[in-house]
Amino acid sequence: MNSSVHPRLILSDIAKSYGATRALDGVSVDVGVGEVHALIGENGAGKSTLMKVLSGVVQPDAGRMELEGQAYRPADTLDARKRGVAMIHQELSLAPHLNVWENIGLGSLPNRGGWVNRTEARRRARAVLARLAHEHLDLEQPVAEFSIA
C-alpha cells in the first residue's frame, strides 16, 4: 500500500472472548482504498468473529478501529451501516414467507410513520437486482419457491 495514503480501515489489537474461549487475540489489519483482502483460516480461527466486530454484530473486548480517519466502534449493525459497513453472512438467512423485494429490503425498508413505502422498496429492489444482472426475477415471488442455488 502507498504509505502516503491513509488506510481506509484500521483494526489494531482487536480482542474478543466468549467465556474462556479467546476468539480474537490482538488482530491488526489495515485496508487501503481499492484493496481487497481475504480472511482465510481453519474453522474456529476467528474469521466470522472479526467480521461480526467490524459490522457491529458484537463488540470487541479490546482494541481500536478507525474508519476513514475517524474512531469507529459501531453500537450495532444499523450504526455500522450508517457508516457504510455491512456484512453479507454466509449462512442462508432469508425469510421464506416473504417475497423477493421484502427480503432484499429487510432491515432497511423505506417507511414513514411505521408504514412501508412499497413503491420505493420495489424500486430499490429492482435497482439491486439490476446491479446483479438478475432483473428477470419476479419481485412478488415468495423466496420459498426458489431453489437454494
> For 25, what's the count of Cα atoms within 13 Å in the CB-facing half-sphere?
6
Burial class (CB within 10 angstroms; exposed 0-12, middle 13-18, buried 19+) of 118:
middle
SS3 20: coil
Q: Does position 118 have pLDDT exceeding 90, yes or no?
A: yes
Interacting residues of 32 by C-beta distance below 8 A, sequence separation 6+: 1, 2, 5, 7, 8
* DSSP annotation of 133: T
Contact 65, 84 (CB under 8 A): no
pLDDT digits (tens, 9 = 90+) for 89-105: 666 678 889 999 999 88
Sign of CA dihedral 133, 135, 141, 145: negative
β-partners of residue 13 are none
pLDDT digits (tens, 9 = 90+) for 15-63: 999 999 999 999 999 999 888 888 899 988 999 999 999 999 999 999 9
Percent of the chain past pLDDT 90, that is, above it, reads 62
Query: What domains are defined for the chain?
Result: 9-82 (3.40.50.300), 100-145 (no CATH)
Among 40, 42, 51, smallest CA distance to 16 is for 51
13-45 burial, b at 16+ Cβ within 10 Å, e below that, comes to ebebeeeeeebbeebeeebeeeeeeeeeeeeee
Give the pLDDT of residue 140.
96
